[in-house]
Amino acid sequence: MDNRLIIFDTTLRDGEQSPGASMTKDEKIRIARQLERLRVDVIEAGFAASSPGDFDAIRAIAETVKGSTVCSLARVSEKDIRAAGEAIRPAARGRIHTFIATSPIHMEKKLRMNPDQVVEAAVNGVRMALQYTDDVEFSAEDAIRSEMDFLVRVFGEVIKAGAKTINVPDTVGYSVPGVIGDWFRQLISKTPGADRVVWSAHCHNDLGMAVANSLSAVLNGARQVECTINGLGERAGNASLEEIVMAVKVRQDVFGCDTNIDTGQIVATSRLVSQITGYPVQPNKAVVGANAFAHESGIHQDGVLKHRETYEIMRAQDVGWSANKISLGKLSGRNAFKQRLVDLGIEFDSEQELNEAFSRFKDLADRKSEIFDEDLQALVSGDSVEQGQERYRFLSLSQRSETGERPQARVVFSVQGQEVAAEAQGNGPVDATVNAIESRVSSGSELLLFSVNAITTGTQSQGEVTMRLSKAGRIVNGVGADPDIVVASAKAYLNALNKLESRAEKLNPQLV
Ligand code: KIV
Ligand code: ZN
């Protein structure tokens, strides 16, 4: 059996289906470039038929990315497959991933189709997709709750029609490792033509077993896993790329296969996705959490100092933690700043954008003596709303709080270039700040989530704030970073308001 495990990243498609994680075209391109640097084999860039915005983003990624296969999702309908085919046309290597549900509950209640109709639609879908590319993947949505004999029949037929990859999604995160492993073994032994295709696992995390289930599939013959950075995704998320990649690398003795991933890019990719989507990474998250390599207990520290491998199974620098070093300082010039951003995979479309970012860097360097790579990434992620669509801009803030008194904030910001100042009180300084902004904006939005994260270590660190707002069925995550967490909160709130206003944002693609 082939010992290469194909890494299919769906952060830009399934990951984007997390509440508020929808991204603009520019943001998707930035993540796609970083995924290419990470050397993922396949980037699922979106669902072309879901919106014109998603179509454009996939097309732009297909034009930009040359090192990874660029893929679009499509239902088995002609309209979806045409959109997917057109969107991936410029790609050096393009794939169409077409799917239809196969479980009794989905066929009967959602599709209202009988099994024969589903088989026919699946085969037609694969044939149509082959008119655009010879790299066609077929997924049986809700495969894990489907009947084994029916799956064998559908998969046998789509393999005959020319599908090259067969994906077995655990759409609702229902399986457990022993069971899914057995399913892969049975499917591969029973399906006619099974040896001509790559078998793929796509696991959701509803019971917290997405990674374990994916790995069990690998042990039983899967040679592609579909996963996302930081495990982002619909509901409880998808299997996390970094955990799967490091598991097969560290335990080659168990899995007997390896990936093409440049693991040194893992932390940078995790941070970029977190900053753009507004989903912080929990500190105790495996591989990419801030504590993943921190040794707190005296016994552990002593052991690691004497011999690292007493308590560490992988090296922090192997997954890119060495990037957490002083990067630039107050005296660094524009060229050094630009070069460091290029090294981090960040490029600007115009000199004006670079100059604006440099002036923000100088401002930060005045207030924070050590600037880390993470600070630079946060500094530029504020540009997440596409140019010309930024209605609100933070200018300055002053706030007063004293024990026993109600906190007061004064925020100065611009609304379409017009400076406005607003003052308000609140339960705390952040509440007062949001009240002040709302006293001028009256957005009518509801705050769903407020979270603060330290970007680097120590009290000198910048605080990174996420504010999730909802309005008229639309959910967005605003992000702001600053050494002053109240300022970071104001920036995050204004960023979320900009996203609510921005037409570049789109609704969750699964709602189409
Ligand atoms: O979870 C799922 O079933 C999917 C398919 C569209 C592959 O995301
Ligand atoms: Zn999925």
Residue 511 has pLDDT above 60, yes or no: no
How far is ligand 1, taken at its centre, from the CA of residue 40, in Å? 19
pLDDT in tens, 172-189: 999 999 999 999 999 999
**H-only helix segments in 203-329:** 210-219, 241-250, 252-255, 266-277, 298-306
Q: Whose CA is nearest to atom 2 of ligand 1?
A: 171
Contact 76, 100 (CB under 8 A): yes
Residue 174 Cα to ligand 1 midpoint, Å, equals 13
Instruction: Say how far apart CA 319 and CA 300 lie, in whole Å.
Output: 21
Strands 198-203, 165-170: pairing is parallel
The predicted structure's pLDDT at residue 507: 44
What are the pocket residues of ligand 1 if the criterion is a CB atom closer than 6 Å to any ligand atom? 14, 73, 99, 139, 141, 169, 171, 202, 204
Task: Give the model's pLDDT for residue 46.
Answer: 97
Closest-lying ligand 1 atom to the alpha carbon of residue 226? 7
Under the banding of pLDDT at 50, 70 and 90, the label for residue 80 is very high
Could you tell which of 73, 171, 174 is best to mutate to test the pocket of ligand 1, judged by most ligand atoms within 8 Å of the CB?
171
User: How many angstroms is it from 203 CA to the middle of ligand 2?
Assistant: 7
Ligand 2 midpoint to CA 495 (Å): 28
* pLDDT of the residue at 325: 56
The pLDDT score that the predictor gives to residue 42 is 98
For residue 359, how many other CB atoms are within 10 A of its CB? 11
Looking at residues 117-132, what average pLDDT do you find?
Answer: 98
- 335-355: average pLDDT: 82
Query: What's the rounded Cα separation, in Å, for the pair 308 and 314?
Result: 9
Q: Which of ligand 1's atoms lies nearest the C-alpha of 142?
A: 3
304-326 residue pLDDT tens? 787 888 888 899 999 998 644 55
Taking only the tens place, the pLDDT of each residue in 464-505 is: 899 999 998 888 889 898 999 999 999 999 999 998 887 654
Residue-wise pLDDT tens digits, 2-56: 899 999 999 999 999 888 888 889 889 999 999 999 999 999 999 999 999 999 9
What DSSP string describes 250-268? Answer: HTHHHH--B----GGGHHH
Closest CA to ligand 1's atom 8: 14
Please give the number of the atom of ligand 1 that sits closest to the Cα of 143: 3
pLDDT at 379: 80
Ligand 1, atom nearest to 238 Cα: 1
Ligand lying closest to the C-alpha of residue 234? 2
Q: Name the closest ligand to CA 171.
A: 1
